[in-house]
Amino acid sequence: MTKLQKNEKGGRRAMIRIMDRVMLPGNNVSAALKISLVGIIYLLAEGLIMFRSADWFLVCVLMQGQMLISVYLALRYIRSGYMAALGLNIVAVIQEIHLVMINRPNASFFFIFYIDIILAISLITYYAMRSHKIYQEALRQKEEISVAYYRAAVSEEQLWKKNRELESSNQVINRDKQEMYRLANIDPLTQLPNRRMLQRRLDEIGKEAKEQNRSFALVFIDLDNFKNVNDTLGHQAGDELIRYMAFNLSRLTHTADMLGHFGGDEFVLIIRRALQKEEIMSYIRRLAAMLKKPAVLGNMKIAVSASFGIAMFPQDSPHVSELLRFADSAMYQSKRDGKNRIRFFEKSLLDDLMNETKLVQGLKSAIQNRELYLVLQPQYFAEGGELRGFEVLIRWKSLKFGFVSPTRFVRLAEKNGMILQIGEWALKQTCLMMKNLERQYGCSVKLAVNVSAVQAMEPDFVGTVARILNETGFDPHHLEIEITETAFSNSMNPVHQMIAGLHELGVVVALDDFGTGYSSLSYLQQLPFDLVKIDKTFIDKIGLDLQSNQFVSTIISMVHQMNIPVLAEGVETEQQRDFLRLKNCDLIQGYLYGKPMSVSSVRELLDRLKNKATKKSIDQNFSAKKD
Ligand code: C2E
Ligand code: CA
Ligand code: CA
């Protein structure tokens, strides 16, 4: 900016300032009157001077003064200023009229001059009033704007505050949403997707695969004998093991695949890549090998294997819901095959699955249709070879399905609760049957009845046994109940109570399938069993290697140390029998001595034995040992 421009700007600003001052919107009447008073004095002075001397120049200066005062009044005070100035000039006009009348020279000139002033101030006032109005309007607008601006500022602040509140509540909502999503979709124990999320993802993956004509595989993973870990080491250790397994599995899982925790000891793996069966097999083998590495829980090392079932999309089924069922049944087949196995789904399993449903239907009417019956397998004293008693085994000869293995239908019956009815029936039949035999032959042998875990853990199991004994009149001292470890829940208390209740009735209790479970020995220490039955799998190995022989003899001596007699089941060879005798095994049961037989065969056997008088009871045999 040049100096000239600066000066020019400065001058304009000064002018505007003066005008602003002059045109102050105040319409102050008293100020206008005060100035008018000055004006009147001025007018008087003017008139006096003009009257006394006719100095033309002085008069002209005074008239200029009057004009300035008039203009100032009109500009400064507008309406009231105008009225005051008008009054002043009218006085001057009247004065001039008087002067004209007395023929004062130049009076008419002054008269016209004052008229001019009146016209000029009228015009000025008119414009001043107009600009004042505009000014007022502008002022009002300015006021409105500033109010609006203030309001806007206030509401902007409020808006900002509200925004902040909204933001923070949004964050809370988002956090809640995430938490809800997590709770609904992530398993809290393993931090893996849960059943719900897996099912949803599976639907999506199935849809995608269908659209893109791709294949994928579904793997069902179930830990073997996990229940035993839970039962012996407690749920906390069980949880720890599941977490450890989940961690290890997810470490080895390919990033493209999805691993989830289906619940309990079940995991599901979705292999999203289109792999060949062989590739899937080697992938799963790697997972299986890793799972078998022992986990350290507290101060214990635990090794758990798993059973795997695999179903392929779309080869096995184009429906994801079916796929899950198929993978599950393939996994079950792995379990049936002896656990720790990997199996692909096959159509024959589908038949199994369908048959299973039909079997359940058939089993429901089996009792009424008299399709169930009992067979008895003899048990002998190892030392003298006398008959000790019989294990009662159930059979189902279905009109529709033919002979169904008890391992199969007992599991089914356990799954749907029918085992309670079947078990009660078996116990009652056993007691009735033996009551008749006893009456007929006067014999007193033990009858060992298998009781399922589901049945044994019924709150009123002991009551049911007592009722049946009462109804049939069967001597409780001739009854033995066989239970397996799977009957034991996490807490030993109910099992203890159940065994004590049976003891009170006079019934003895055997621990069946000893050695197959995870911690048979620890159960033995905690629960008052009367007999231990070593599982057939160990007996089978006798004579095969030194280690197996050692194992069986260790079991026998350890159980004997607890003052409990031992029965070996599934004895098929003389070599096995001789070894067991050598190791002081007390009782023997197996095909070598007799297969499970019908009641009529039992009669024949008892007939044969009737002639041989000497029969020892197990109680006599072991009373010495127990003492
Ligand atoms: P378990 O209690 O271990 O029964 C012994 C099984 O071994 C019986 O099979 C018996 O026939 C078989 N066995 C005995 N000696 C030999 C042998 O020398 N060689 C061979 N190869 N096998 C032998 P079974 O009758 O098929 O019963 C299978 C399972 O079904 C039983 O195993 C038991 O767990 C269950 N079960 C049978 N009857 C009943 C019952 O009335 N109630 C319940 N809850 N379960 C039962
Ligand atoms: Ca048994
Ligand atoms: Ca057994």
Q: What angle do CA 291, 295, 300 make, to 5 degrees?
A: 150
* Ligand number with the minimum distance to the CA of 520: 3
Name the residue at shortest CA distance from atom 25 of ligand 1: 393
SS3 state of residue 266: strand
**Closest ligand (CA of 535):** 3
Determine the atom of ligand 1 nearest the C-alpha atom of 589: 15
Convert the pLDDT of each residue in 328-359 to its tens digit: 989 988 988 878 899 999 888 777 777 778 88
Is 494 a residue whose pLDDT tops 80?
yes
Query: What sign for the dihedral angle of Cα 494, 495, 496, 497?
Result: positive
Distance, CA 569 to ligand 3 centroid (Å)?
7
> Residue 543 C-alpha to ligand 3 middle, in angstroms?
20
CA distances from 152 to 155, 157, 159, 181, 505 (A): 5, 8, 10, 40, 91
Poorest-pLDDT segment among 81-85, 150-154, 401-405, 452-456? 150-154
Distance 513 CA to ligand 3 centre (A): 4
Question: Closest ligand 1 atom to the C-alpha of 423?
Answer: 42
- What is the number of the ligand 1 atom nearest to the C-alpha of 595? 15
Structure tokens at 99: 């002067």
Rounded to whole angstroms, the Cα distance separating 159 from 167 reads 12
The Å distance, Cα 205 to ligand 2 centre, comes to 46
Paired tokens of 445: 């042998």
Closest residue by Cα to residue 215 from 258, 272, 255: 272
Q: Tell me if 567 sits within 8 A of 532, measured CB to CB.
A: yes
Residue from 425, 450, 455, 482 whose mutation best tests the ligand 1 pocket (most atoms within 8 A of CB): 450
Pocket around ligand 1 at a 6 A CB cut-off? 377, 393-394, 405-407, 410, 423, 426, 450-452, 512-513, 536, 569-572, 589-591, 596
219 bridge partner residues: 269, 310
Q: How far does Cα 342 stand from its chain's mean position?
A: 29
What are residue 90's DSSP bridge partners?
A: none
Q: What is the mean pLDDT of the chain?
A: 84
**Nearest protein CA to atom 45 of ligand 1, as residue:** 450
pLDDT 10s digits, 400-443: 888 999 998 998 898 778 999 999 999 999 999 998 888 888 77
- Which residue matches tokens 């096959």? 346
How confident is the model over 22-40, as pLDDT tens digits?
555 555 666 666 766 777 7
**Interatomic CA distance for residues 620 and 605, integer angstroms:** 22
Atom of ligand 1 nearest to the CA of 410: 45
Enter the tokens of residue 547.
């280690």
Q: What is the DSSP string of 162-214?
A: HHHHHHHHHHHHHHHHHHHHHHHHB-TTT-SB-HHHHHHHHHHHHHHHHHTT-
Please, what is the Cα angle at 159 between 154 and 163, to 5 degrees? 150
pTM greater than the 0.85 cutoff: no
Q: Which stretch of 160-164, 306-310, 583-587 has the lowest confidence by average pLDDT?
A: 160-164
Closest-CA residue, ligand 1 atom 10, reads 596
Pick the atom of ligand 1 nearest to 572's CA: 18
Helix axes of 347-364 and 406-416: crossing angle, nearest 10 degrees: 70
The encoded tokens of residue 82 equal 């105008």
| Residues facing residue 223 across a β-bridge | 306
Residue located via tokens 């020019």: 8
pLDDT at residue 4 in the model: 46
- pLDDT (tens digit per residue) in 242-286: 999 999 899 989 999 999 998 888 999 999 998 999 999 999 999
Span of 205-219, 331-345, 463-477 with lowest mean pLDDT: 331-345
Percent of the chain with pLDDT over 90: 39
